[in-house]
Structures are given as structure tokens and as C-alpha cells.
Chain A
Amino acid sequence: MNYYTDLILILDSTVRLAIPLILACLAGLYSERAGIVDIGLEGKLLGSAFGAAAMAAVTGSAWLGLLAGVGVALGMSAIHGIASINLKGNQTISGVALNFLAAGLTTFLGQSWFHRGGFTPQLSGDQRFGPITLPFAPELASVPVIGGLYSELISGHNILAYVAFIAVPVTAWVLFQTRFGLRLRAVGENPKALDTAGISVTALRYQALIITAVLVGIGGTYLSIAQSAGFNNNMSAGRGYIALAALIFAKWKPWPALATCLLFGFLDALQFRLQGVQFPLIGEVPVQAIQVLPYLLTIILLAGFIGRAVAPKASGIPYTKER
């Protein structure tokens, strides 16, 4: 029973840690499917985490925080869009620039607004998204096996977490069952085919970027005012990059993306759990060695087990109308 509780706890933190990855990964899915490489996901996560925390701290409302988080991501997407769609610039460079911008600007603005070394004030109560208790969770908690599963693992997350999980089937549906999805996939593969069919490549790519911004904005918001109680420096900690890696691993498909993000979340959760644990023969393993585990496995998985991952063909290539 003890092991079972342990497992539930690890799975629970798996879910919590996977949420921002799922959101960022789906965000990246929309833009890469539309042919825009978004290496700036990392910066957008960070920027919107800061925006959300700052707004929540000032106004006291988590919802306004969410609005601000998404707003920041939209603004950054707009820059990325102008640079890479209208001006046909290099998308990777534009994305990296956004990452630097976010890292520098969040620290700078955080310090000049709140004077706490880049941190935002500690948030509490309505300034954060609190856990939602699903119906009957407390009542079922004592039921063996499924009780723990339901009350710990499924119930008790905040609204943004549920949004992330709902976003997966919605994305799958949009991508493969709707006209918009068909065009989105086409514009990432062969934008000329759309252009000659009389559909605006520019408009479609901006639409994709807007969806990307909304999703990654929610992800950033989750980081600072749902998972944590405030913003701290560089709190995205490479999650944007890991989300991109997960996207490749998942071959740009929504359900595999969910599975991959959960796997990465699991590795992260395991890492927390294993700290300070005595291993047979080896004894206690240094914290740093355990912390490196998820990253190491990421490399191994990406290098060895991914098989053929073919990116959308037009990904990263600005579209120029020519004849």
C-alpha cells in the first residue's frame, strides 16, 4: 500500500510537471505544422509567466494574470510573425532573439517594479489558480485503489491543468477533422499549393501563431501563478526547448505529444523523488547526478528511439510568392 501511495504521488507530480510541457508542446505543434519554427517558445513561456505573476500581484486577480500572460505571448508572437512571415527573416534567429529578450526583460522589469532581485511578490489566495476538487473526491478518497487515484491524481488540479488536457483531443480534432486543420497542415508542407488554391498563406500562418501564443501563454501562466506562487528568474528552465524536443519525439502529432510530455514529466518527478534515497551498493547518489537524469534520458530517447521524424516540409522556410 505504501508503494501504491508513492506511485500515486509520483504520478500526481508527473501530471503537475507535465502541464506546462503539454501546453508549450501543443503551442509548438500549431506553429510548426503551419511552417513556422518557434524556438522562442522558451522565451514566451518565461515572458508570460512574468506577465501573469506581475499582473496577479498588482491586481490581485489570477484571471487578469492569465490575460496578461496570454497577452505577453501574443505580443511576442506578433514580433515573431512580423519578422518571419512579413519580413521573411530567419525564424530561428527571431526565436532566439525573443528568448534573450524575455530573459533580460523579465529580470529587468521585475527588479525595477518589485525590487526583489527579479522575483515578483509571493502570491496567495485569489492571486493564484487554486486546486479544484472534483465532485465526490473527498468521499471516494477512502475507497481502495480507485479512491486514491481519483482524489489524488484526477481531482485536485487547477483549471489550467484541465485546460491542458482538454487541449489535446481538441487539437487532434482540429488538425485532422476540420477544414482549418487541413489547411494548417498543408501550409506547413507546401504553402504554394494553398496559394494557388486562392488561400492566403500569411493569414493562415498568423492564425496559427495566435493559437500558439494562447496555448503557450496559458503554459507560462501555469508556471508562475498556478504551480508556483510567483515569478522567479528564468523559471521556465528550458521547458520551451524540452517541449520542442517532445514535439519532434511525437512526430508533430497531438496524442503522442501528450504521451511524450507525460514521460518527460515522469522523469522529472522521479528525479525529485530519488533525491536523498539510499540505493543498494551505490549508496546516496549526489543530487546533481539525479537532476541530470531527465536531460540525459531526453538525449538518449531523442538520439536512439525516435525513428524517422519528418518535420513539416516547409517548416522554417518563409513563403515567397514567385513565378
Chain B
Amino acid sequence: MATIAQTPEQRLATAAALPAAIELDGINKHFGPVHANRDIHLTVRRGTVHGIVGENGAGKSTLMSILYGFYTADSGTIRVDGKAVTITDSRHALALGIGMVHQHFMLVDNFTVIENIVLGAEDSALLGRTLSKARAQLKQLATDYGLEVDPDALIEDLSVGQQQRVEILKALYRGADILILDEPTGVLTPAEADHLFRILRKLRDEGKTIILITHKLREIMAITDEVSVMRQGAMVKTLITEQTSPGELAELMVGRRVLLRVEKGPANPGKVMLAVENLVVVDDLKVPRVKNVSFQVRAGEIVGIAGVAGNGQSELLEAISGMRDQSLGQVIINGQPVSAFGDDGAARLREAGLAHVPEDRLRMGLVTNFLEWENSILGYQNDYGQGLGLDVAKAKAEARERIAQYDIRPANTDLKSANFSGGNQQKIVLAREMERNPDVLIVGQPTRGVDIGAIEFIHNQIIKMRDAGKAILLVSVELDEIRALSDRILVLFDGQIVGEADPATADEGELGLLMAGVHDNAGSTDAARLPEHVTPVEKTLTEMSPLPNKDVQQ
């Protein structure tokens, strides 16, 4: 295949001459009463990157599962390379050259990389022979596509980005020509995502066809040649990426005009509700992650913490909300210092008037095996006490109110939380924390993995809280979100606040430089301001931070 880099037009022109890699014609799929895919037509050209966008539940994953043989379509035809096929199972899909990189990796954690790669595609009953053959092939793939992973490393020791590379290698090892990636960047840091895109471009230049499922429009714009938009199970439109815009795509996804900017009036800051003074937080390995951070949040304002993921945001949030003991410093709520030490730190902070929407709703915000109403009182169970028992009727009644108020779907208090979509799960957590009428609200990644319609709603709720005079601390890795919501932006880099910006006047370039650690006193980590015991480790940290990224040289 041609390896010369081409422009998108050239690629599409070349591809038009070949039979399409995949052609779907009139695909329908029902799950009970739900019509998950309606009469889908889709053409994916050979040697291109084809994006599929849509909100959560638009039917993207179902469609790809049909292509990968997880489901069979109720009707319709699939053509691979111009030949009509009936894909009965994953094995068949693999045989047709279709490989899939799942959103949640399908890897065995305590196996080595190479064992995972050969699993299910062993070409001999004896492992020794299979592995030595695979090793040679893996080396070839690594040099061809820049997919370098140590074949003998255990999966559990690898970073998420590396694990994803193993998934890609798995597909390529099986001879995949068409690679489907389902929300590949959801779990990646920005640097890892960049690396992934470089790999994908390389794969495309080598003649592979890539289908990218995502709901991040920026990624679509950055890497795809063509993009198809799905909405409510139907394929709305297929566009050439160069000839469209994020605005148009967003509109097609949601079916109405979306405000990517949030409407909000000027802030009206009152007295200081949350003050953080000289906070130092070390992580589990005793490495300082937050270094002498001080700031204030006033009633009626939103302070956004911007920064590249992994620069101490999580530790900062965890310390302020009482989930992690701080090493030094103070958290003052409404003028009262509150100790966040010990297992009941979080409870004490809540009593003091702080509510917390954690960054990771699945790990910290919800018990996914609990029902909706159970999650909606989580952490506040004592308010529903009735002797030794629980006033279930009251809890459910309130849960129902919140469902209505926050438009949580499906409106069912007795449904397991795991069965709600990401956006609705997030609304359950938000509703629980916001409806406590806290003085201070801390929100981490409010819209991570949430679809556009819900994003808008969540943003408006946060603004509403602000206008009701609450002090809000917002942490997000999405710079757009920080800019849209915040009244003041603090930039966190390497555990320190390196700058403050006014969202109205700051431009993206300036913020980007701050987030990358380029500022007036760049390089100096200001050791003098740090407590003495932090300084020795400080040095090693500066050397290795931000986290090393084993990118291949381009």
C-alpha cells in the first residue's frame, strides 16, 4: 500500500476507486421495544479514518457490535470489500479482517502482553511455538506502526495508554484490515491521546481502514476523513470532515442548536466561603502532588481549576473533600477551619456545609449495584433514619422529585444505577449533592463521559447554584468547560497554582502555555515556599513530571 502521506481529498479520491471497506445497507436492530438501529446506511471507504459521532445511546455501539458479530442484525446487508457477508460471531468478523478495540479493554490483567495478544488466535496447541512465532511478528508490527510495548510485561503493570496499544496489537496480530475503536480516548490523558492519533494516522497511511466512535468533536475534526452522525438509532448524515464544523456536527447530533457557550450573567461575589491555605498533599507513594496551594472561593462565584490531567487536581479535590489526608495547610469553610483528617473527614466537611461531586462517579460517586433511590441518599442516610430503620418512602419520594427536576431518564427510582447512561448517572450524583443546599460545592469533571444534551443541563445547573449564592470550585480537564463556566480560572501545574486568568479576556494560547508550565518564573519550582521536608523529593518530581510518556519518535 502507498505509504506517502496524502491530503484528505487525495485519500478519498483514491478510496472512491476501490470497493468500500464496509457497506451497511438497511441495518435494523431491535432490543425488545427499543429500536436501537433504524435502517442504517453507511459506507466506509478503504484507507480512511471514518468517524461515527452521536450522543450516548444513539446506537453507535450497537451498530459496531453488529459489525463485530456480537449481535446479528434483524434485517439489512453487510458488505465487506464489496462482498455480502453474514457475520455470525466475533471469530467470523476477525476472519473477515475486522478488529475491534473495545472501550473497556478485553485483556487478562495478570497475563503478559504477548499472552494476551495470542489468546484465542494461537496457531499451535503448544504455547512455546505460538509465542516464539508471535514474538517475531510483534516486533515487525512494532516497527511498522510505532506500537512499542514490552511483550513480557504484565498488563496490570502497564499504563492505560499502553494497554490500549496492546488491544490494537491484538487486532493487528489477527490480521485486521479494518479497525473499530470504541471511545478510545475516554480513558486516556491528552498526551496518550495524541500518541494514539499518531498511531492511527500511521495505520491509515499503511492502508488500514479505521472506524472511530466518539462523542468528542475535537477528535473527529482532528483525525477523521469522513464523519457520520447518528441520532436516536438512525444515521443522520455522513459528511466530509474538512467541509464541516463542530457546530454543525453538534447540531446534527442533538437535533437542535446547541450552545457550546453557556449563557450566564456576571458574577456577584460575596464573602469568602471556602479558603484553602498552604495546602500540601502527598500521594500514596509519599510523592507531593499538591504543593503549598492557597486560594479562596467566594459565595456566588465559580472558580475553575484548569490544568492538564495529573498535575495534582485529583489530590487537591480529595484533600478538600476529606477523602485524603492533607500533609500541611488548612481548609476553612465559612470562616471555620475544618479538619479533614481521618475516615470521618468527609462527613465532617459535609456537616460544615460542603458538597462534593467526585471526579469519578463510578468509583466514588455511586454504588452502581444500588438502585437509583439508594444512590440518591448515599452519604446522607442519617437524614432518612426512622429508629433503626430507613424511611424508604420518604427517600423514594425525594428521589422521584429529583428525577423530575433533573430530568433523569429513565424516571425509575427502582432501577439499578449501573443501568443508567453516563449522563444520567452524573445527574443522580449532581442532584444528590446540589439539593442538600450546601454553602460550598466542589465539582470534579462534571461532564466526563456525558453526552451533549446532558452537558448543557449540567452546566446550567452549576450556573443556577452560583446565582443562588453558592461558592463553587470546579475542576475539569476540558478547558472549554472551565472557560465557559468559571468566573475566575486558576491554572494548576505540577501541584502548584501557576497563574490566574479572567475567562472573559484570557485567550486559549495564554492558558495553554500556563497549563504547560511555561510562565514568568518558568522552571523554578519555588522551593523556598515549600515546607522543608518536601524539598528533597521535590527535585525528583520536577524531573519526572509531567509523567513520562514513552512516545515514539516521529
A residues in contact (CB < 8 Å) with B:
176-183, 185-186, 189-190, 192-199, 310, 313, 321, 323
Contacts and interface: CB of A to CB of B under 8 A. Distances in A.
Interface of B: 61-62, 65, 69-71, 89-94, 100, 102, 106-111, 115-116, 118-122, 124-128, 130, 170
Contact of B91 (A181, A198, A310): A198
Contacts of A192: 106
Given A179-B130, A193-B106, A198-B93, 18 more contacts: A176-B127, A179-B126, A182-B119, A182-B122, A183-B120, A185-B111, A186-B111, A186-B119, A189-B111, A190-B106, A193-B108, A193-B116, A196-B90, A196-B102, A197-B94, A198-B89, A310-B110, A323-B71
A147 B65 CA distance: 67
B290 to A, nearest CB: 31
B94 A198 contact: yes
Contacts of B94: 197-198
Nearest to B61: A323
Contacts of A197: 90-91, 94, 106, 119-121, 170
A67 to B, nearest CB: 28
Contact of A179 (B71, B93, B125): B125
A190 B90 CA distance: 16
A323 B125 CA distance: 31
B471 to A, nearest CB: 42
A234 B357 CA distance: 57
B274 to A, nearest CB: 41
A189 B110 contact: yes
Nearest to B174: A197
A182 B127 contact: yes
A300 B208 CA distance: 59
Interface centre among A182, A192, A313 (most CB of B within 10 A): A182
B126 A196 contact: no
Contacts of B130: 179
Contact of B65 (A180, A195, A198, A323): A323
B179 to A, nearest CB: 14
A177 B65 contact: no
Contacts of A189: 108-111
Most buried by A among B62, B92, B116: B116
Contacts of A313: 109-110
A193 B110 CA distance: 12
A196 B102 CA distance: 9
B90 A177 contact: no
A196 B125 contact: no
Nearest to A188: B108
26 contacts: A177-B127, A179-B125, A179-B130, A182-B127, A185-B108, A186-B111, A186-B119, A190-B107, A193-B106, A193-B108, A193-B116, A193-B119, A193-B120, A194-B119, A194-B120, A196-B100, A196-B102, A197-B106, A197-B170, A198-B69, A198-B91, A198-B92, A313-B110, A321-B70, A323-B65, A323-B70
B52 to A, nearest CB: 16
Contacts of B70: 321, 323
